[in-house]
Amino acid sequence: MKKIMLFSTVAIILSGLFGCSERKDDTPLVQSKVSIHGEGFKDPTSANFHAKYIQTKNYDIQLCQTCHGSDYSGGTTGQSCNTSACHNKAAGPENCTTCHGSVNAAPPKDLTGNVSPTFRGVGAHQKHLLSGTLHAAIACNECHKVPTAVLSPGHIDATSRAEIRFDTTSAFFVSTASYNATNVSCANTYCHGNFSGGNNLSVTWNDTSSTVAECGSCHGDVTKTGKAKIFPKTGHTSAAVTADCSTCHAAVINSSLAIIDPSKHVNGRIN
């Protein structure tokens, strides 16, 4: 061990000496900046990019605070993370869209940067989160425990995947609803038809060919047309069978069978 150290010390001295004596012109030596983090730490295309590095540290953002400061404004390094070109959103690197999400905190992008819904981390997030013609926006809290801050307990834990749990206080809650992380699928959820007369679908989160958002899939019969396509299999009186849906569900649907108020459809209540 001692020999190796001695040898390398000698080698450094020698190379330093020869390095100088070999210089023939008078151009001044350019001091190349040796980065504490190594080459490419600021380059998204590099294998050494800091986002990839922090992944290998299980996203432990506190590691960075040691030198860059608890508010990431530079600390002892003088190198702020919160610059206009970099982490320019509220809370800097701790912003909820730093490690996942973009328009909101939900993927895409997922934790490894994927944007296609075929990846399980991306899946049908935005289909649920953004309101549309079928339903109002569904909150993260329906499927996850939502952290108030990066370091909140239960957020970044030993597992690399997100935990799914259904909100027991939600209008959608049914105790039999379950998530299967092996198949990436949900079963027995109220939203997908686990109610009287519904079709109780099992749905695969990242199956982009799925037609589960079609009228007749959660309740009714997709192969039929008109009223029969959406009419629940059970739970209605014979009077309902002959009447228009809008006679009784006027807040939700019109006589042309169009949803007129998505906020009252798939809201956990019969309107």
- How many Cβ atoms sit within 10 Å of the Cβ of residue 70? 9
Q: For residues 27-86, which are near ligand HEC according to CB under 6 A?
A: 35-37, 41-42, 50, 53-54, 59, 61, 63-64, 66-68, 77, 79
What backbone phi and psi angles, to 5 degrees, belong to 180?
-115, 105
Binding to ligand HEC by residue 260, rule CB under 6 A? no
Q: Does 107 sit near ligand HEC (CB under 6 A)? A: yes
Shortest distance (Å) from residue 236 CB to ligand HEC: 5
| Amino acid residing at 146 | V
Long-range contacts of 60-63 (CB under 8 A, 24+ apart): 60/156, 61/93, 61/94, 61/150, 61/151, 62/151
| Binds ligand HEC (CB under 6 A): choice among 136, 187, 213, 222 | 213
Residue entry with tokens 């000698």: 10
271 binds ligand HEC (CB under 6 A): yes
By CB under 6 A, residue 183 contacts ligand HEC: no
105 binds ligand HEC (CB under 6 A): yes
C-alpha distance from residue 260 to each of 47, 50, 108, 135 (Å): 50, 48, 29, 10
> Order of strands across the sheet with 178-180?
178-180, 185-187, 203-204
For residue 117, state whether it binds ligand HEC (rule: CB under 6 A): no
* 205 near ligand HEC (CB under 6 A): yes
Question: For the chain, what percentages of helix, strand and coil (3-state, to nearest 5) are there?
Answer: 25, 5, 70
CB of 105: closest distance to ligand HEC in angstroms?
Answer: 4
Interacting residue with ligand HEC among 140, 222, 250, 260 (CB under 6 A): 140
Q: Taking CB under 6 A as the rule, does residue 173 contact ligand HEC? A: no
Candidate list 174, 187, 257, 260; residue touching ligand HEC; CB under 6 A = 257
Among 102, 181, 208, 255, binds ligand HEC (CB under 6 A): 181
